[in-house]
Structure 1
Amino acid sequence: MKSTTATVISLAGFVSTALGHGFVTSPPARMPGDAMAAACGQQVEINQKSDNYGNIQGELQVASSQSDYNAEECNIWLCKGYKFADNTANVQTFSAGQVVPFKVDIRAPHTGVANVTIVSTSTNTVIGSTLKSWDVYASNSSPIPDEQKSFDITIPSDLGNQCATAGDCVIQWQWDAQSIDQTYQSCIDFTVGGSGSGGASSSASSVAPSQTTVAAVAQSSSTTAATPTSTASATTTKAAFINAAEIPSSLLTSVISTALPTAVSVPTQPLTEGTTMQDLVDWINYLMSSVTVAKRHARDFF
């Protein structure tokens, strides 16, 4: 009986994957592996390993009869359950503003919609704006346009340090073939390095400034040139929202006056001696990076 059951399950997996219709072939996308099998179940992983072009609904059909399927751990609506741990060798390094060419292999057309977004893997929510979208994708009433199979996306310049660590973000292509209720996904693991012009890396993390530095922003608008005593370095810090590399080092290292500006109602707390413009830049970037925005689930983009 067990042998017969296993055969039926394997056949069901084969039938499902035989219908696989779309996958990103360049840049290298996540593939199934042992970590996926541990979270999503062995049969689900076998299903996708036999045909990574398969759809999420097909995976769920296989998973529904498997005792080793863990819905929470699998998180199947993020990259079809494919895991970063199985794909650490395929992490791409991009720069802000870099144009990245994509290649998609569509084996059979089915009318739907599609988009390309950057997704936070910790929350499965879209970061920023949609990079590419199609209101009608892979229509089965006409030949598939070349621009739906070969296109460019541009790495946003406002990611800050959100995608500085491998595994934190993916570029996700998603095709929702509504005409047959099948959803296809491909995910590219990446990190953001320097600017598109080849500048220094922008992946340095922001550090919360001291309360004295916070007070400095409210209390002073004047600066005087002096020998810097702050440990902040303009050459090692590139701000996420204010690009310190584009500010003259003589200004960054100048010390903010401890005197309060006139006719300004602010707390009368003097600045710490040696507070520099670099401290001010760091604080502004920390403040901007702390602003929260409404998060949208990746599936909300359809």
Structure 2
Amino acid sequence: MKQFTSIAALTGLISLANAHGFVTSPTARMPGDAMASACGQQVEVNQQSDNYGNIQGELQVASGQSDYSASECDIWLCKGYKFADNKDNVYSYTAGQTVDFTVDIRAPHTGVANVSVVETSSNSVIGSPLISWSVYASTATGVTANETDFSVTMPDDLGSKCSTAGDCVLQWYWYAESIDQTYESCVDFTLGGSGSSSGSGSGSSSSSSSSSSSSTAKAETTPAAVETTSAAVETTAAAAETTTAAPVETTPAAPVQYATTTFATQARQSAEPSVEVQTASAVETTGSSVVSTKPIPTDGTAQEKLNFVESILKYLAN
């Protein structure tokens, strides 16, 4: 256990030293159990602690691990991140659609970069890069705006190669030549028929990836983009307000319909009952099963006290 803790701490330090770049939109593959099984537990821990790390750093960690399998890990494809861990992050695009990218680069290092369609079965680029830079994240100029916020156009000549989830990825690739470090981020997608080339960017997540509707593909939907408002759970003071008037018998209100989100959470009201109270005289008039909260008089006459107790007994008898 002590050895495991020491190794985890060491890999964390390596991650901090290597934290340089990752695609933040569209949602890219992340490490998980399938990666740990193929690449080794410590390699996966290294990337969980900092997914901005580079492939060379992963290989340094893997070199001392008996559970690292080079063939199964396929670390030069998406840094070893597996489709099995990211099945909920599949985008549905159409040919000709534009896809907006956002890249977070935490430290510039001069190199080259591109975004390409990659066939995962062979780890090979299909066609030409969708966008490329011969000089990227230069230490001389710093990171420029078009290196972190840009768009690519989905090709229309892929046929059926990318029609099944997991077969293809949009891979952002940055090789920082000046320090010999390689960074990759992969976006899983499926490609349908021709659509408008003026689309807004990324398509729908896997929950709607089976739909070929171009209107769905035009709207950017990230897997976690769910908003709830306080109005869905808010109960106003007026809903709980009582009056001094005698209660009127009414039919029970319909059960409250709770608002749920895709995170399987619910907005819940307090189930603690509240007690509505009235004086004994009101009980005698309305027959309501409501008990007075007025205390037994302590400063009245003995007769007043007896009258109060008698009213309570009459209520209990009914």
Give the secondary structure class of the aligned counterpart of 2:37. helix
Q: Tell me the equivalent position of 2:174.
A: 175
User: What are the Cα deviations for residues 228-280 of structure 1, in whole angstroms up to 9, with x where unaligned?
Assistant: xxxxxxxxxxxxxxxxxxxxxxxxxxxxxxxxxxxxxxxxxxxxxxxxxxxxx
Q: Structure 2 CA distance, aligned partners of 1:49 and 1:5?
A: 15
Judged with a 3 Å threshold, the aligned counterparts in structure 2 of structure 1 residues 61 and 127 are, in CA distance, closer, same or farther, namely: same
Give the secondary structure class of the aligned counterpart of 2:155. coil
Give the Å deviation of 1:4.
4.1
Q: Tell me the equivalent position of 2:140.
A: 141
Q: Structure 2 CA distance, aligned partners of 1:8 and 1:90?
A: 31
190-199 or 30-39, larger mean C-alpha shift? 190-199
Give the secondary structure class of the aligned counterpart of 2:141. coil
What is the correspondence of 1:244-283 to structure 2 with a 5 Å cutoff?
none
Unaligned runs of 5+ in 1: 202-302
Give the Å deviation of 1:162.
0.2
Q: Structure 2 CA distance, aligned partners of 1:190 and 1:68?
A: 30
Give the Å deviation of 1:9.
5.3
User: What are the Cα deviations for residues 74-105 of structure 1, in whole angstroms up to 9, with x where unaligned?
Assistant: 00000000000000000000000000000000
Q: Tell me the equivalent position of 1:193.
A: 192
Residue 119 of structure 1 contacts residue 172 of structure 1 at CA under 8 Å; is this kept in 2? yes
Residue 23 of structure 2 contacts residue 172 of structure 2 at CA under 8 Å; is this kept in 1? yes
Q: Tell me the equivalent position of 1:18.
A: 17
Q: Tell me the equivalent position of 1:60.
A: 59
Q: Tell me the equivalent position of 1:84.
A: 83
Residue 19 of structure 2 aligns with an amino acid whose one-letter code is G
Give the Å deviation of 1:6.
4.8
Q: Tell me the equivalent position of 1:29.
A: 28
Give the secondary structure class of the aligned counterpart of 1:32. coil
Residue 169 of structure 2 contacts residue 187 of structure 2 at CA under 8 Å; is this kept in 1? yes
Q: Structure 2 CA distance, aligned partners of 1:170 and 1:154?
A: 14
Does the alignment pair 1:117 with 2:116? yes
Give the Å deviation of 1:16.
3.4
Q: Structure 1 CA distance, aligned partners of 2:76 and 2:109?
A: 20
Residue 27 of structure 2 aligns with an amino acid whose one-letter code is P
Give the secondary structure class of the aligned counterpart of 1:104. strand
Q: Structure 2 CA distance, aligned partners of 1:56 and 1:17?
A: 14
Q: Structure 2 CA distance, aligned partners of 1:72 and 1:6?
A: 27
Residue 120 of structure 1 aligns with an amino acid whose one-letter code is E
What TM-score, normalized to structure 2?
0.60
Number of residues of Structure 1 aligned to a counterpart in Structure 2: 199
Q: Tell me the equivalent position of 2:286.
A: none
Give the Å deviation of 1:18.
3.5
Residue 78 of structure 2 contacts residue 184 of structure 2 at CA under 8 Å; is this kept in 1? yes
User: What are the Cα deviations for residues 174-203 of structure 1, in whole angstroms up to 9, with x where unaligned?
Assistant: 00001011000000000012311349x9xx
Q: Structure 2 CA distance, aligned partners of 1:9 and 1:53?
A: 17
Unaligned runs of 5+ in 2: 197-213, 218-318
Q: Tell me the equivalent position of 1:184.
A: 183
Judged with a 3 Å threshold, the aligned counterparts in structure 2 of structure 1 residues 87 and 181 are, in CA distance, closer, same or farther, namely: same
Give the Å deviation of 1:19.
2.0
Q: Structure 2 CA distance, aligned partners of 1:81 and 1:75?
A: 6
Give the Å deviation of 1:55.
0.1
**Identity rate of aligned residues, in percent?**
66
Give the Å deviation of 1:20.
1.2
Judged with a 3 Å threshold, the aligned counterparts in structure 2 of structure 1 residues 8 and 32 are, in CA distance, closer, same or farther, namely: closer
What TM-score, normalized to structure 1?
0.63
Give the secondary structure class of the aligned counterpart of 1:60. helix
Residue 44 of structure 1 contacts residue 62 of structure 1 at CA under 8 Å; is this kept in 2? yes
Q: Tell me the equivalent position of 2:307.
A: none
Higher CA-based Rg: 2
Residue 15 of structure 2 contacts residue 49 of structure 2 at CA under 8 Å; is this kept in 1? no
Q: Structure 2 CA distance, aligned partners of 1:29 and 1:93?
A: 14
Q: Structure 2 CA distance, aligned partners of 1:17 and 1:159?
A: 39
Q: Structure 1 CA distance, aligned partners of 2:127 and 2:3?
A: 49
Give the secondary structure class of the aligned counterpart of 1:25. strand
Q: Structure 1 CA distance, aligned partners of 2:68 and 2:9?
A: 15
For the aligned residues, what is the CA RMSD? 1.7
Residue 120 of structure 2 contacts residue 168 of structure 2 at CA under 8 Å; is this kept in 1? yes
Bigger share in strand: 1
Residue 113 of structure 1 contacts residue 136 of structure 1 at CA under 8 Å; is this kept in 2? yes
User: What are the Cα deviations for residues 26-68 of structure 1, in whole angstroms up to 9, with x where unaligned?
Assistant: 0000000000000000000000001000000000000000000
Q: Structure 2 CA distance, aligned partners of 1:17 and 1:177?
A: 17
Residue 138 of structure 2 aligns with an amino acid whose one-letter code is S
